A and B are shown apart, each in its own frame.
Chain A
Amino acid sequence: MIYLDNNATTALEPEVLDEMMPWLGGTPGNPSSIHSFGQETRRAIDRARTRVARFIGAQPEELVFTSGGTEADNLALFGAVAASGTTTPHVVTTIIEHQAVINPCRHIEKAGGVVAWAPIDANGLIRPEDTIALFKDDTLLVSVMLANNDIGTIQPVRELSNATRERGILLHTDAVQAAGKIEIDVKKLGVDLLSLSAHKLYGPKGVGILYVRKGIRLKPLVFGGHQERGLRPGTENVAGIVGFGKACEIAGARLAADAARMETMRSAFETAICERIAGTTINGLNAPRLPNTSNLSFEGIDGEALVINLDLMGLAASTGAACSSAENEPSHVLAAMGRSPAEARSSVRFSFGRHNAEEDVARAIELVAQTVQQLRECRQ
């Protein structure tokens, strides 16, 4: 099997697992205990916190460990709303966010708040000036993803930060898909809040962080002990946090090399596919893109049928939209780019990763070309 679905999740790095093992099978330490067991565990968490902080240019005390990217996004949005004192806030976001931002925003709307949804252009990018035009005097928070999970376009988040700072608006970015693929520096981005997830960068599932810039006040969504400064109570997922720290350390050290390698593979893949398969469109081609993500539309092809046929042939890819019936909505991202439902349904996402070998690329090209041709013949 060839795995080209690294935007869905990545394989745990063996070195990460090695660091996690003592915390899965070893001492019983609760990091909040005062004895030596507790102290050792607390040190492990501190070390991990420092590693993750260094990875995004933050201070360790600015991080809140969560159960993953979704919880981090929810804490950013609802935590900010809860701290604002209003139950009917004004929020600005985009129509191409992950569901972990879209659905909290819909919830805010249902509860009486107002959400302005920034559009994207045909290249899959928001326009900073159009997005800033949506800001109002009482806007509480702006949430714009750093890189889109479906098509990999990198959004101009930093071009919003002057405007948000001037107006005293909180700027949140969901950086889950960007991590390990492009540099992330909270200072350069100028964001107040940033979400990350470990399992997208060869760490374990079930752990993430929300970066909360020093001085920003949030309120917790769950209540309990003092852990994570009371913003995320509950005994820490020690093994997960330790693994996350190691994964960030590796990703930071390998970032340039990983990105260059993935981009080489992606480029070879796209060039060959476009040469061999007529009617192929590279979605997001004219925008800055993550180096690993290739979202392709194949004229006249049903994306889901292609994904299943590829799976049966030994290649794992994905459709943007995780639904399968002919009349289900196609990718909301491609729809937002102005693609017709038929075009959107004909798209498949291939996402490369650190563990792909060069021969995977050649084999993948072969399988995709063959399968698209078969599906087209079968329609005639």
Chain B
Amino acid sequence: MAKNRVLVVGGGLAGLSATMKLAELGIPVDLVSLTPVKRSHSVCAQGGINSVNDLTRQQGDDEWKHFDDTIYGGDFLQNQPPVKEMAYWAPKVIDLMDRLGVTFNRTPEGFIDRRRFGGTLYKRTAFAGATTGQQLLYALDEQVRRHEAAGLVKKYEFWDFLGPVLDDTGRCVGAVAQDMVSMEIRSFPADAVVVATGGCGLVYGRSTMSVFCTGSAASRCFQAGAKYANGEFIQVHPTAIPGADKLRLMSESARGEGGRVWVPRKPNDPRAPKDIPESERYYFLEERFPKYGNLVPRDIATREIFNICVNEGLSVDPTRMCVYLDLTHIPRAELDRKLGGILEIYEKFQGVDPRDEPMKIFPAVHYSMGGLWVDYEANGEGGLLPGSPRNQSTNIPGLYAIGECDYQYHGANRLGANSLLSCIFSGLFVGPGIVNWIQANKASADLPKSVFERAVSAQEARHKQLLSNRGGEGENPYLLHQELGDIMTRAATVVRYNNQLTDALAKVADMAERGKRCSLADSGNWTNQNVIFTKALQDMFPIAQCILEGALKRDESRGAHYKPDFSMPSLTSTDPAERRREAEQWCDAFDENTNKYLKTSVCSWQGDAPELEYEDVDTRLLAPRPRLYGLVGAEVIEQVWKERSETRSGQNSEKKLVGSAH
């Protein structure tokens, strides 16, 4: 019998941690990546990675609270067992990264320093300057290089994953990929395939993501039959630096270290920011959200900044929309030590020193909470069963998804510094389950060659067909991409309306047709970036359709998905009795909405459009409760809600909530 192999697609934090864990377990890994793995998009993560730690523990924090914050921040849309497991692993993940040599910032005594991030009241976030993602990625890259030198890992860098190979029973037995230099297309037989290919920001044209974050790998799995879940939940980061080629992230850590967001109270105030006295500055996040201040969850900060510019007309720049993010009150030495990396980015790309002058920032598409649907198997405590082959498995047996390209961990809104955690955690955790999967199945290398030849020739046909579309008649893929980005940005970012979504769906369906008629400026067969990009573009449309379809059907506001026409209203009455009655009604409406929309939206591909179904969310550990950051009348609603849940828990106290997920 041939030796088992696993194929990992993508070499960011998730892909590398899976590779290194599998190698430790003795499994040879083929690692396919569009770029040298050390250059993966994880390098862009700035702020840090969350876990409960010795210090916060003594302030009353524990793993359960990290779990609770993550679920609450995500508006209860996550299945709870995977999130619980992640929160309980978090301190161990940071310990491991510490052992691998990550240069985390230190306290004077030599412990790992921590900062506070959005959506929590504890300082849980470990960080390495403002380049935490880069530092974590390098530590994993080094370990994988170690296994590569020992012969257990083989890298295929500058290779494009074209799709999974399925056998006659529908099991994934490998993949087809293309060498982006020689353009050779070949198959990689594998006993399991792990897709760790990140987000889909390029569907929006410009975003904070790297150029290879097209979502095409996830889309190719989706079009091969894998389900795609919660696509409509796209995180728009509150603070980015607008640019012509990309929107560069300004990390939440800038606010975590004391950065304050403000605008002049007077519209179109022509004075320089320094000349505007405190009393004439509107620190709108601090005023509206006294408890969390500048560190409200991202969806809320984004809407507030968007709103203050678009609806209240208080943008600080007359020619474009932006607000101040101000660090100038913090000593330079401290800024350099803790935020050096990101301040340099601002300085380098804007030509202004943010230590002297407030930065000008505006929201940008940043992260995809949705992604490939994956399974899990719960244990008796409501966490995950370690070693279960179901964990992180897509609905295609043998095809796994981890990291940003799965949908598991962040629900309707991701908390800052939880993504690095979810990537490394899912990468480490998937390993033992895959080993068990492999042992229970026939080796892919023993399958008839025809299975792989068929898959390769289908991809070769697609490639040849595209190359033959030469000449100026057809669509220009780069311009078509810009058009897609404009449509998606307008219809499916911060604020969403059904008429716009319906319109965008029709346009994208039309563009998908036009995408088939792209004509290429390069028909050669050597390092042809033109054809690689065109394929990625064609595969962006199904993902765009999932996003729009999910957003259209979801007539509510939840986390990053905000529809003003279907939002829960603030309380209006000032009379206490009337206000109480309004709060009762509010809670009734909340319950009704929960019953209807606390569901995972799951899309499956029908050849030209996605079909959407809803799936129940596993809320076995925490009952959904209203997310009330800053709502008028929140305290009355909270009171009513508390009374109701006490009654309910009295009724339910005999019910034991354990068992398997599905």
A binds B: no
Taking beta carbons and an 8 Å cutoff, which residues of A are in contact with B? Answer: none
B residues in contact (CB < 8 Å) with A: none
